[in-house]
Amino acid sequence: MSEDEIQQERQRLARLAMDIMERTGEEVTRAKLASELRVARARIDVVFPEEGDLLEAVTGEWFAPKLAVMDEVMASDLPPRRKMYEFFARRFLLLRDQFKDDPATFNLYIEMGERYFDYARSYIDLADHYLCELIAEAQADGHFDGLGINEVLSIINQTVVCYIQPYMIAMIHQKLSEEKLARIIDTLFDGLSVADRGAKGVSGLRAAS
């Protein structure tokens, strides 16, 4: 098989593995995949020489629609504020719909993500790279005055974490909404800067008088 053929087969088998996971509610190994598909184990091993190769391919297929959404937003000519909202909102809607459609499978993916975080790391890093580009666009428009890109990146991620972390969506999806997310983004754009407005100006707590 050529490299292109192997890559196509990786994607096809990863999607089939995901179908099996959704049906059985269990993580799929190479042996189980071969058994379920009724093919020789050697055929699976050609495409996935190591067990981790299958897990990596499944991770890639799970992230694929989220990456497509990010790519679409980044290629748009929306103004920075609207683009940042779409950057988070579209992924949030994908994740929320996935959870509502099949909570058990969604939670299975969460458990796998915790065990095999290294396979997801490159996708998270790419999302942060895109967000840094959005922050730079916003700063060129006069927002986030005086702050470094990495500091803004950290603050924004901490502020919107419940809209992009699958386990948070599984826990509190009823309390999350596009409207609330829009208000969060507006608040960040209208107020986030290097200026000290008094929140950290108190040396300690004082009793109310």
CATH number at residue 93: 1.10.357.10
pLDDT in tens, the chain (209 residues): 677 888 899 999 999 999 999 999 999 999 999 999 999 999 999 999 999 999 999 999 999 999 999 999 999 999 999 999 999 999 999 999 999 999 999 999 999 988 889 999 999 999 999 999 999 999 999 999 999 999 999 999 999 999 999 999 999 999 999 999 999 999 999 999 988 877 776 666 666 66
Domains: count for the chain: 2
Clarify whether residues 37 and 66 are in a common domain. no
Structural domain harbouring 162: 59-191
What integer pLDDT is reported at residue 6 of this predicted model? 83
What is the predicted pLDDT for the residue at 150? 97
Q: Is there a domain that residue 133 lies in?
A: yes
Whether residue 101 sits in one domain with residue 9:
no
Same domain membership, residue 74 and residue 31:
no
Same domain assignment for residues 177 and 91: yes
Residues 6+ apart with CB under 8 A from 91: 66, 69, 70, 163, 164
| 131, part of any domain | yes
120, 142: one domain? yes
126 vs 132: CA distance, rounded Å = 10
Is 98 within the bounds of a domain? yes
Give the CA dihedral 57, 165, 168, 138, nearest 10 degrees.
-160
User: What pTM did the predictor assign?
Assistant: 0.89
The verdict on residue 208 lying in a domain is no
Q: Within this chain, do residues 9 and 42 fall inside the same structural domain, yes or no?
A: yes
Same domain, 66 and 45: no
* C-alpha span between 162 and 107 (Å, rounded): 15
Q: Please report how the helices 117-140 and 103-115 are oriented relative to each other, as an axis angle in degrees rounded to 10.
A: 90
